[in-house]
Structure 1
């Protein structure tokens, strides 16, 4: 992607400036050692990290600590870098090994080789949990369900393991097996062997629903990758050609992704008004607004839940604050930080928090989330059951969707009522 190449050039030049200041012998040794990657990563954070005080950490001293040891391997250097990043107390500023970074890039590009599961850590037990099996994936076909706990991956216990580390174990060559020990609803653990495959990941799913005397365009957006906006545009255009009377946009369990895609999609729904404001470490603000290219002005309701995060919250917040849509569901996750993606010279990568964002009304939702206009809660068991059967989403078996339909019906009813001026005549 052009943006990735640009980022690579910028970060490489930063590392070169630092290394070039050294004596020739020291410079050659550093360039040929794992320290080159550490210095490159340090320079990026030193220049771009959103908090210029680095969480009250002496960042110059961190550089000395990183570059003083003689590392015996890249893995040892990677461990030192991860330890240094932990001092920032920012889970979104993170280092990725070459394998992890390649998988991350594949995800943001809409490419996936694996078994097709969205993972998270259970908030109570810190156990690895399946949030949702992806449609048309080996995981869904084998019967993996939302809420399943993953206790082992190929014999390796997952207790204390990060989501990224678990995903790294699950990924592999297409056609190869991966064995997992799962537990479901406090029953006895059971083994499931899945075969990895290349998965075409559609992130927009749409359908026409007949609700009473109206047609509803139901659109579910599962993440914001490089193809999200183009898929969303096709879905809106197709549904409008089928003469729908309104839309339900489902952002539940959408963890976010690319900011540019969130902005592009917001502009498909909002004809005028602000979308988001970002503020960098220097206090410089960038206001992003609609540009008059909205594809539809039909009534819209948006569904969110506690797993709607990041770019999902940007989109939902803009639609809510600009009075373009009614937001239905439960409180969103609360991530109001923007990251840059930085390739490093050895093929690894670094995500760095570079800005904070605010909704059009100026709301900082970090750690708070977006409050729906209409709260429609569902029990944990109901949610697990629903997301284990994607065909039930956006139907009468989906209580949050049903409330969204009620909101659309109230708007249609208001549209059918004569105005006050008409009554007076």
Structure 2
């Protein structure tokens, strides 16, 4: 990682597709190389093909390229004639498949744009969350985002969106509505709304840059404790500052314990996971990365923790990548009790490059390990208290999201029980951490055995 740090911008990004998350860095190398390629190959599809090959050849974590003859692959790629970039995309993807690495992958311009929007933690729009109401089957505002044009225009939760710029939303999917609402900052948008008990009305809004909330938090009083419950959806570029605000506000409310919910969090930015880990840890290792030549870099806490109150972390099979870096750091340092299901198991770091035509490439450049040197790739992290939800319990929480983070949520309820146990209620010293590492073992509990 030391070598790549010299080549890459400090900006860090992620590719998130379902449960597959990528912890990555965005590179400025592609921009300089682009200028050379434009001159040499006159912006042909071959320029794109060779740029991809060069980046993989230079950075891929496996110097043997999965036992493939990477030089021969280049000759094959450049011997072909391409009449369009789309033809080049097909051949690029075929070449990358030979590495048998799902995280080293090509992104067409739309996919790359979606990536940059997601990792920035910002969108251009009016700031609302929407869904199709199950009863009315109409597009409905779930939540207007704080400090957004929607809030300033008086849009409220429960407002039904009947038309967007004159186009009816009847039978319109949420994704289609989102694409109509998003647009360039400063441009106008008209919505026709229906509010229960009122006539339809029109609202004109001006699109703005919206910071996407990735952290939700609240004070709860469960199990005789004042619980600061924090839910982190993903590790975007704004996640750390939002987490900092959450912890400070809950500290102000004098909570005596915390529950950090990483369930369903597919990961994101490596740097965000490090910064957030430092908010919980005063000392100890956070993560170690190793690149293709064996150079390693270890990141540690730096005595900037915002709280030392007892902490429980909730995880599941969709907690991946940056979520696992944070969980591994807190678990290995005995800073938190981890509750839930085994995590996804993704311990690879990618660099993300913009290519000559606005498409992108993610390349695996390093492997990471938890502070104790554990390789969790394809294995995941086993919680201290392993508790799998039954199918019925999963369905209940999916159908009633308001139950998540309550005593009707078995994994949250088990975390509250663990926090009441003095063995988990106090952060360990480094000496205790070392001793516990030799004796601790995961606990296994069935959700249906819990009674609250």
1:392 maps to which residue?
403
Pairing 1:195–2:195 present: no
1:26-425 to structure 2, matched below 5 A, reads 28=40, 30-112=41-123, 137-139=129-131, 141=133, 195-196=177-178, 197-198=181-182, 201-411=212-422
Do 1:138 and 1:194's aligned partners in 2 also have CA atoms closer than 8 Å? no
Other structure's SS at 1:333 match: coil
What is the CA deviation profile of residues 204-258 of structure 1, one whole-angstrom value per residue up to 9, with x for unaligned ones?
0100001143210000001001000000000000001001001000000000000
Distance 1:204 1:336 in 2: 23
Do 1:175 and 1:195's aligned partners in 2 also have CA atoms closer than 8 Å? no
2:161 maps to which residue?
none
Please, what TM-score do these two structures have when normalized by structure 1?
0.76
Unpaired segments of 5 or more residues in structure 1?
21-26, 115-134, 145-172, 182-190, 416-425
Other structure's SS at 2:305 match: coil
Higher relative contact order (CA 8 A, sep 6+): 2
Residue 15 of structure 1: CA displacement?
Answer: 5.6
Do 2:313 and 2:327's aligned partners in 1 also have CA atoms closer than 8 Å? yes
Residue 11 of structure 1: CA displacement?
Answer: 2.4
Residue 31 of structure 1: CA displacement?
Answer: 2.6
Do 2:258 and 2:311's aligned partners in 1 also have CA atoms closer than 8 Å? yes
Do 2:61 and 2:292's aligned partners in 1 also have CA atoms closer than 8 Å? yes
Do 1:14 and 1:44's aligned partners in 2 also have CA atoms closer than 8 Å? no
Distance 1:200 1:177 in 2: 27
Unpaired segments of 5 or more residues in structure 2?
1-7, 13-24, 137-163, 183-209, 427-452
Do 1:273 and 1:322's aligned partners in 2 also have CA atoms closer than 8 Å? yes
Aligned pair in 2 of structure 1 residues 176, 256: CA closer, same or farther (>3 Å)?
farther
Distance 2:280 2:28 in 1: 35
Other structure's SS at 2:117 match: helix
Residue 8 of structure 1: CA displacement?
Answer: 5.1
Other structure's SS at 1:139 match: strand
Aligned Cα RMSD in Å? 3.0
